[in-house]
Structure formats: structure tokens, C-alpha cells
Chains A and B, each alone.
Chain A
Amino acid sequence: MSLLSRLNLAAKEKVLAVQQYFQLAWKSIRFVFARPFYGSDMVQQMDVIGVQSLGIVVLTGLFTGMVLALQSSVQMKQFGATQYIGQLVSASMIRELGPVLAGLMVAGRVGSGIAAQLGSMKVTEQIDALNTLGTDPIKKLVTPRLLAAMIMMPVLTIVADVVGILGGNLIAELYVQLPSSFYWQSVWKQIAQGGFVLNYIPNDFVMGLSKPFVFGAIIAITGCYFGLNTSGGTEGVGVSTTRTVVTSSVLILVSDYFITQTLLSVLPQ
């Protein structure tokens, strides 16, 4: 086979994969409105995706906030501008680091779990069994995970933001000897400065909380897509898991840029 036709084939495969990815996403969203609705599966997934991820999200948020405060204090001390630490920490955490880091951590923990579970179900014919027993696997497995991830990601992000800003407060007080009141004033100043949507929803919150919805969807769909397309026995499950983590992490970072750009041009400054 010539190089050109091989390239052609590879390109076609990629396009097909993207098409199937979006088909899966579309079907699973459509099934939200179709009976039967597997509510108990969704609640169970909310526990797995949300509650059980609290630990790593708290740790990630806390240390990110702390390191932000520490790094910025070194620079700001030179200009005597340490009272702006709160502003810097809150802006970074709420707009970017909270959603992105929570997203990446959940992609590693939950996305891989989804892919491994669905992948094992695929290779042990449990997906075929669901079909045979008259259940649509997308409705039963993908839709509850998608909804659970889209509901829980914003919650986890809020936790990461709050804990991160508290971590910044801790470092500001212990290392920079900046009183808490100054720190919090600076945090609030940043939020108010960013402008408001509908007069009382801060722009920072809109930006910080619209991202995790998308990230949650990316994590669930990517995990389910690779899980349901697993082939080649237990080895295939490993491959699917790795691909899920890599693909969803990349998709999170890429979509983060585009969401930011879109919102910056749309939100009133």
C-alpha cells in the first residue's frame, strides 16, 4: 500500500472516530429526556465521581493556592505590593486553576475508572448482554455518567476554588505576615473588578463555573467512548484507560483556551 493511501485511510479513521465521539455525546444527551431514566445509577455515579473525588480535589486546590501565594509573594515583596496577593490568588484560582486542575484530577481518577469499568464490561460481553436483555447501554451507562459528571464537576470546582483561596490566605498570613482582612479585601476587589453579569453575578464566577460543565461532559464522554470501543481483552482495557486520560486531559486544556477566549469577548467588562 502506498504511503498516500495509507495516510488517507488513517485520516478517514480519525474522522470516523470523531464522528462517533460526537454521536455518542448527542445520543447520551438526547436520552436524558427519554424514558426509562436510570436515576439510581445517576445518584451512584454522583457519589463515585463527586463525593469520592473530594479528597484529591481538596488537596490539589489547597496546595495550588498555597504555592500561588508563595510564588507571588516573592515577586510582590520587591515592589511592596503584597496586599495584592489575594487578588492574584483568587483570579487565578477562580478563572483558571480551579476548574482546570479539578478537571485534570477528575479525568485521571474518574475518566480512567469509567473507561476501565465499561471496557471490562465490553470484553466480558456484559455490554452485549445489556443489549440482549433489551436495555440500551448508552441510556443505562453513558447518560447517568454524563449527567453526574456535569453536575458534580462545578461543585468540585467550587470546593477547589474555596480551598485554594483559603490556602493562599494561610501562606499570606504565615509567610508574608499579611493580615487576613487585607487578603480578603483584595480577593473581593478582584471579584468586583471583573464586572458583573445581570448586575450581581461576577464575571469571574461565570467563567469559572461554565468551564467545569464542559470539562465534566468531556471526561464522561471520553471515558465512555474509549470504554465502549475497547477490544482485545484485558490488554485493551489498559489501552482504553490510558487513551482516556491522555485525550480528556488534552481536550480539557484545549477547550479551556477556547472557552476563555469566547467568554472574554462575550462578557461585559
Chain B
Amino acid sequence: MSDDRFDDDLRDVPAAVPPSERRPGERRSTEHRARVRRAIRTELAEDAPEDLIRRARDEDEPQTSIIELDNVSLAFDYPVLEDISFTVEKGESLVIVGESGTGKSTILKLILRLLVPDKGRVLIQGEDIAHLSFDEALRVRQRMGMVFQGAALFDSLTVFDNIAYPLREHTDLSEEEIEERVREKLEFVDLNADKVMDSLPAELSGGMKKRVGIARGMANDPQIMLYDEPTSGLDPLTTGTITRLIMKLQRELGVTSVVVSHDIRSSFRIGSRIALLAERNIRFIGTPEEMASSDDRYLRDFLGGY
């Protein structure tokens, strides 16, 4: 879909009263909220994420959920998640939204087995990963690509070495093949390989870092991509670029994605389903249309805030 149109939509939805002029505690008008909903629906009609899922799903494969959280609870010094259950199907993209500090990123860490739940099970393609040994967990992690909030590029390595890292670690590819792969991935994320390959991460802009982070995450051709706040701290144009990139990855490569975000606009574009996390649990999970038409008060407040 054209992004110009997307940005036009943005212009159609002015805040009824600019936030700076709003009195404390004053809510946005119902008219404004109706407009937001309308804009979201128009956008959804163009994307039809169900088609994407159907295309990506291999019909012959038995229908095991690719990711399943089953009554997962986790506490640090305080409870973070309580009895969380959801599944992610192959080719689907689930966006997890919620206020800051509700444990959204924790869910990604559970899926990666960087954290182990106190209670419940985390299943990756039907395999419970809680009791795996460290080495077995490393094997499972190789099926996943993770894009960190701050990109988390190794700052002592060049862009090339960063993207080549998983290939050098886990494949027997020759240096020529690795270079070919790295160039291919950089091209996929719309970066000029010759220009950036020898740069250090510190020399890149925020958006470029994110793109290199995505290229590194997909270097091993993972089946699952996880994104932690992929658009936070980026300007609206770069946000659009990264959003498009995530959708492209899902559409062209059939990758299953789990995206943690607090950016509602891009969540509605990316997600085939959206989960809202509140008070240590999932308050809502459903398609963007269901979310837009939900009457849940907290959900309305959450969406209205944008």
C-alpha cells in the first residue's frame, strides 16, 4: 500500500483540541475518536492480514501453534505476569501493546528463554522450552530472530561483522557466501551495502541501526521474528519505513512475528491480531477490527490516548 495515503490519513485525523491547549483531565471529543476508528478501518481494508496468514501457512503441516504461552506466571520482586495464555499461529503477526512497565518485553524474553516462567509453559512449535538445557535453548533460539529496542548491535564490530555474526557462529558458509548473504539482507532492509558495511554502529543514525538490527535478526533466516519496540524513539517517517519493513518481512518471507509496541498506529498496520496487556494479564486479544470496535473502557481510553 502507498505510504503517502497513510500519511494523508494522518492529516485527516487532527486532534479535536491540540494536546497543549487541552485542560488537564479533559478528554478528546467523541467525534475525534470516531474519526480515529474510521481511519483505522480504512487502513485495515487495504491490508487484509488474514490473506497474508493464509498464504504463509503451509496447508500440509499439522496445525501446531508456532508459539504458545500456557498459564504463564512470572514474578521478580513483584508479580509481573499472572496466568497469561495465548497462541501465535504460523505466518501470523501478533502485536502486544500496553502501558510502559506492564511486562511486554518480558513476554519476548520468555519466548526466547532468556527468562524461565515461575509457573506455566512456553511452547515453541509444540516443544516446552522451560526445561531445556542451556545448549538446547541456544538451538531453539536459532529459529528466532530478535530485534532489540536499542538495536543492541555489537559496538566493537562493523555492520558487516554484526550481520555475519550468526552466520559465522552457526553455519559453515565460506566468507564469500557470508558476504553474499549479508549484502542480500542489507538490500532487503533498503541499506546501501557498500556504504554501510564497514561502518561501526556508533556512526549510524537511529533508524539505520534499527534496520541493521533487523538484518542481523533475519540473517539466519529464522521462522520467528521478535521485535521489541521497533519504532520507539524514531521520527514519523522512519517509523513508517520500519513498519513497512516488518510487514515486508512477513509478507515476502512468511515469517511469524511478535511485536511489542506502544505505537498504536503502526500496531494496527502490522498486527493480524493485537493483544493488550494490563494489570499483569491480557486484557484483550483480537483482530484490529475487533479492537477498534470494542467497548471495553480501558481499551477505549488506551486507544483514545493516541
CB distance from B212 to the nearest CB of A (A): 12
Stretch of A64-72, A123-131, A252-260 on the interface side: A123-131
Which A residues lie within 8 Å of B148 (CB)?
A: 125, 128-129
Say which residue of A129, A133, A136 sits within 8 Å of B134 (CB atoms). A136
**Are B141 and A131 in contact (CB-based, < 8 A)?**
yes
Which A residues lie within 8 Å of B298 (CB)?
A: none
Say which residue of A36, A131, A134, A135 sits within 8 Å of B114 (CB atoms). A131
* Contacts A124-B152, A125-B149 given; does A133 touch B112 at CB 8 Å: no
**Are B166 and A131 in contact (CB-based, < 8 A)?**
no
Q: How distant is the Cα of A130 from the Cα of B152 in the complex, in angstroms?
A: 9
Q: How distant is the Cα of A134 from the Cα of B109 in the complex, in angstroms?
A: 14
Q: How distant is the Cα of A125 from the Cα of B170 in the complex, in angstroms?
A: 21
Which A residues lie within 8 Å of B302 (CB)?
A: none
* Contacts A126-B155, A128-B114 given; does A133 touch B150 at CB 8 Å: no
Q: How distant is the Cα of A186 from the Cα of B170 in the complex, in angstroms?
A: 59
The answer to whether the Cβ of A132 comes within 8 Å of any Cβ in the partner chain is yes
Q: How distant is the Cα of A135 from the Cα of B152 in the complex, in angstroms?
A: 15
CB distance from A43 to the nearest CB of B (A): 14
User: Would you give the 0/1 interface string for A104-138, flagging 1 where the beta carbon is closer than 8 Å to chain B?
Assistant: 00000000000000000100111011111111100
Query: Which residues of B from 132 to 188 have beta carbons under 8 Å from A?
Result: 134, 138-139, 141-142, 144, 146, 148-150, 152-155, 165-166, 169-170
Q: How distant is the Cα of A124 from the Cα of B165 in the complex, in angstroms?
A: 18
* Contacts A136-B134, A136-B138 given; does A131 touch B112 at CB 8 Å: yes
* Contacts A134-B169, A135-B169, A136-B134 given; does A129 touch B141 at CB 8 Å: no
Q: Taking chain B's interface residues, is the majority helix, strand, or loop, or is none over half, making it mixed?
A: mixed
**For chains A and B in complex, what number of residue pairs have CB atoms within 8 angstroms?**
50
**Are B139 and A129 in contact (CB-based, < 8 A)?**
no
Say which residue of B144, B154, B155, B170 sits within 8 Å of A132 (CB atoms). B144
Of A121, A126, A129, A131, chain B has the most CB atoms within 10 Å of the CB of A129
Say which residue of B150, B153, B155, B170 sits within 8 Å of A134 (CB atoms). B170
Which B residues lie within 8 Å of A36 (CB)?
A: 169
Q: How distant is the Cα of A52 from the Cα of B71 in the complex, in angstroms?
A: 53
Q: How distant is the Cα of A36 from the Cα of B170 in the complex, in angstroms?
A: 10
Q: How distant is the Cα of A124 from the Cα of B142 in the complex, in angstroms?
A: 21
**Are B152 and A134 in contact (CB-based, < 8 A)?**
no
Say which residue of A125, A130, A131, A132 sits within 8 Å of B150 (CB atoms). A125
**Are A134 and B166 in contact (CB-based, < 8 A)?**
yes
Which B residues lie within 8 Å of A132 (CB)?
A: 112, 114, 141, 144, 146
Q: How distant is the Cα of A126 from the Cα of B155 in the complex, in angstroms?
A: 9
* Contacts A125-B149, A125-B152, A128-B152 given; does A133 touch B114 at CB 8 Å: no
What are 12 A-B contacts with C-beta separation under 8 Å?
A36-B169, A125-B148, A128-B114, A128-B148, A129-B148, A130-B154, A131-B112, A131-B141, A132-B146, A133-B166, A133-B169, A134-B138
